[in-house]
Structure 1
Amino acid sequence: MTTTVDAAEIAKFEAMAAEWWDTNGKFKPLHMLNPCRLDYITQQIAMEFDRDLTQPEPFKGLRLLDIGCGGGLLAEPMTRLGATVVGVDAAERNIPVAQLHAEQSGLEIDYRCTTAEDLAASDEPRFDVVLNMEVVEHVADPLAYLTACQQLMKSGGLMICSTLNRNPKSFVMGIIGAEYVMRWLPKGTHDWRKFITPDELFQLIEQSGLTPVDRKGFQFNPVTWKWRISAKDLSVNYVTASIKR
């Protein structure tokens, strides 16, 4: 299978690899967003697989793939919730950072430097859940990438996919605000032309062979400096849930 990896995009994250767990470093926006992301992810998994989040290790028995795992900001809490987690990233320097932090945290996580396409083409057992968070806007071919994600899922599996909308507001907030004004991210981290509207993403997900079942916005409040899940505002950051029939 032809790779969808964009070498220039990977180089950006390679350069920042050592800062994954610095809450005030270059990944500060993800640390701020992470509680909101985790809330959506855990609620969707619990609903799809009938799990009680008040119980210890509610995701025990579920096999979960975190694509574009970075330093493990999602893989670690998913492991603590009981899931068997495989974290993959095409940026080689991210993997030892993630492995070291997991070891220091007493967690067993299977981290690998590979791509969704290579994993889909292998004899890797398929997954109940695929996390595909803030990755699709960085790949060379979104449809081919999402198709590989679909192939990695079991029948009845769930994919959570988040990205950024493409409109004037997302350019102002996601590029100008985050990279130039607040300097949360290095300049050039995102290419606004590669942002995807919710309708476009739903169409791509359907073309990949999955069924979209939900979408919500991640809305930032500049007064409280906190994120929340919004059922209406998908104007900048948003997330989708899809299942494999």
Structure 2
Amino acid sequence: MRGYAAFAVAIFLLFYAGPKGHTAPDEAISASEFMERFTSMLDSMPAPPAISEPEVIDLEEDDPETYIFINNAKSRPPEPVYLGGDGRLALNRQNSGEQIISYYRNKDGTYNQDEINKINRIMRCSLTGKETPVSIKLIEILDAIEDRFGKREIILLSGYRTPKLNKWVPGAARRSLHMLGWAADIRVQGYSPAKVAAYARKIHAGGVGYYPDAAFTHLDAGRPRHWLVRRPSNTQATGTP
């Protein structure tokens, strides 16, 4: 009760005492009237935003530091870049066979959100089905890759991952850009991952990972950098880094 009384007094001073250097109003106020006003004030406060059950489960099961990383990163998304792509992107999702063609960029250089939503959908988390906005910079990188290799089919192995899925992927980085919707693991029909990685490094627009044993290329919208990873054969079946 002492703690509650101290809290009530603090609220009273905050709302009914004058600014520094001024005295409180002369009006006398009883304890019951104060509590009535205080209760009325609480009732008028807006309700907190609703949180869905899956979000609660994620918050309970995953590392809170991961959410700090995601929230901080998403507050500073990568700027879109123009890399010569024609504004059309075709993707084939390996695990479901879904295919899309998205005309994501308009002729005036603006972006078509309805078409981008098609990309968000096909790049959804394969474990939970959750979608997230995919980085426009990543879309432009994929478009440049597609055009460079004669519009050959881009096979999507891994796009957005929830933190839960990222934990299950062998060797996945704890701060993977897949959790932001900023990364994709791909193959280009008819071309080796080495050639795809070499061209991606040449355009110097983001991260490039070459995984020869699993036969795919990782592309992301982070800072330009590159790496090569070899893995034992028992991890190749996942198709994701």
The TM tier, using the shorter chain, reads under 0.3
TM-score (norm 2): 0.25
Structure of higher RCO (CA pairs closer than 8 Å, 6+ residues apart) = 1
TM-score (norm 1): 0.25
Give the greater-gyration-radius structure (CA).
Answer: 2
